[in-house]
Amino acid sequence: MSDAFRRIRMPMTREEARSLRAGDIVLLDGEIVITAGLPTIQRLVGCAEAGRDPPIALAGGSLLHLGSYSRDTADGGLEILYMNPTTSTRFNALMPRLIRHFGLTAVGGKGGLDAGCVAAMAEVGCVYLSFLGGGAPLHSAAITAVREVAYPDLVAHYRLVRLAVEGLGPVTVGIDAHGNSLFDTLQAQARDRLPGILDALAASRDSG
């Protein structure tokens, strides 16, 4: 089934990010940068504020809310035992700064980001990629190499990690670079539908 999806080479170009639309489903190849840690995101904001380079280059790249667990291998490398998304909305307050400062072209995780982030993404040309929660066996299988690990003082899933992946996904473009967020649209749609849904519940109670 994987061949049916558009494949995106990561880090994606700004043009490619702008070419995607909310609801598109894609597969990722290339290199991604990930972390699931709030302390990590705070450190990166610290880098942005102090004008310091982050330990792994982020400019024009991706920063995905994925956590990984790795162990050292005999040859001095790292083996990723599992990788899975975390809830992105936890980072709502900090992401606009990172998106703008590093000119990120892709962020992601699960659950989406808020309006402040959506605005920053539209300004910069950045998309949000929605990963399957509970998809650890599939996401982990797409990793081909661990390129770089930063912040080793943090627990494994909080570390900043640069990975090579092949066929990661499919992932859904949850927020595009044109201000469209599936998460916001669907929340608004659910609110609009609520009066009708309550009417249907009442009709069902009456007929029962």
Under the binding rule (CB under 8 A), the answer on residue 140 touching another protein is yes
State in angstroms the smallest separation of the CB of 125 from another protein.
21
| Piece in contact with another protein (CB under 8 A), picked from 76-84, 98-106, 118-126, 145-153 | 76-84
Q: Which of 53-61, 95-103, 137-145, 159-167 is the region at the interface with another protein (rule: CB under 8 A)?
A: 137-145
Shortest Å distance, C-beta 33 to another protein: 17
For the chain, the straight-line distance linking the first and the last C-alpha, in angstroms and rounded, comes to 44
The one among 47, 94, 138, 154 contacting another protein by CB under 8 A: 138
Residues 85, 2: Cα–Cα separation, whole Å: 20
- 115 in contact with another protein (CB under 8 A): no
Residue 59 interacting with another protein (CB under 8 A) = no
Residue in 49, 87, 72 with CA at minimum distance from that of residue 183: 87
**How far is 176 from 23, CA to CA, in rounded Å?**
9
Q: Is 145 in the site for another protein (CB under 8 A)?
A: no
| Residues 83 and 39: beta-carbon distance below 8 Å | no
Does 204 interact with another protein (rule: CB under 8 A)?
Answer: yes
Question: CA geometry: angle at 176 spanning 172 and 179, to 5°?
Answer: 140
- Do the beta carbons of residue 118 and residue 184 sit within 8 Å? yes
Residue 74 as a binder of another protein (CB under 8 A): the answer is no
What is the DSSP code string of 73-104?
-TTS-EEEEEEEE-BGGGGTTTHHHHHHHHT-
To the nearest whole angstrom, how small is the minimum distance from the Cβ of residue 41 to another protein?
16
Residue 35 lies near another protein (rule: CB under 8 A): no
Choosing from 6, 13, 21, 23, the residue that interacts with another protein (CB under 8 A) is 23
- Residue 149 as a binder of another protein (CB under 8 A): the answer is no
How many residues touch another protein under the rule CB under 8 A: the total is 52
Single-letter amino acid code for the residue at 88 = S
Measured CA to CA, the distance from residue 79 to residue 71 in angstroms comes to: 5
Q: Tell me what percent of the chain is helix, strand and coil, each rounded to the nearest 5.
A: 40, 35, 30
| Binding stretches for another protein (CB under 8 A) | 1, 23, 25, 36, 67-69, 71, 81-84, 86-87, 89, 110-112, 130, 132-138, 140-141, 155-157, 170, 172, 174, 182-183, 186-187, 189-191, 193-194, 196-198, 200-202, 204-205, 208
